[in-house]
Amino acid sequence: MKEVKVEVYEFLELDVSARKKAMEEWYEHEDYDYLEELLTEYCKDLLKQKGVSYNDDLDLRYSLSYSQGDGLNFTGTFGWKKYDIKITHTWRYPFASASDIIITQDGEEIDDIKIIEQFKNIYLDICRKLERDGYAQIEYRMTEEEFADICEINGISFLKDGSLTDL
């Protein structure tokens, strides 16, 4: 067996250029696994603020990578005023404007353009707010102090050049 000794460092022990590299490498591998839950909870809050009730089938989909077709939508069954609403989305890309919104009252689909547009505006407003918040989460960069705390709490160590270790 070959024994290899490797010196590992805490974030604050690194020099300035190694700290910069450590933080850049961290964000290159960030997968934002919390983002869907965060946006879903924010969606529920916005729906409540707009007087829209939601069911357990609320499903949020997004692509936030600054590419063509990016966007955010949510689907499910909802209640608003005296109406039942079903939102579906079958397009490949998640932009909200491609969602299908069916509004019914007492089981009959309504065709009142004013009501349809009023709810569609609520839906699109919520989607825009969620999309902006999602991008803000992705674009946020911690200060060195915040990053040092994360590293300390999670026992993250680095090589002298700032590369992340698996130790």
Domain segments of the chain as ranges:
11-154
Of residues 29 and 110, more confidently modeled: 110
- DSSP per residue, 102-150: EEEETTEE---HHHHHHHHHHHHHHHHHHHHHHHHHHH----HHHHHHH
d(CA 164, CA 28) in angstroms, rounded, equals 11
Q: Is pLDDT at 51 greater than 90 in this prediction?
A: yes
- Categorize the per-residue pLDDT at 4 as very low, low, confident or very high, splitting at 50, 70 and 90: confident
Name the nearest CA neighbour of 18 among 144, 166, 125, 146.
Answer: 144
pTM of the predicted structure, to 2 decimals: 0.77
Contact 61, 72 (CB under 8 A): yes
How large a percentage of the chain has pLDDT more than 70? 99
Q: How confident is the model over 61-81, as pLDDT tens digits?
A: 998 877 887 899 999 999 999
Q: Return d(Cα 77, Cα 86) in angstroms, integer.
A: 5
Higher pLDDT among residues 161 and 2, named by residue: 161
pLDDT in the model for residue 79 = 98
pLDDT tens-digit map of 90-139: 888 888 999 999 999 999 999 999 999 999 999 999 999 999 999 998 88
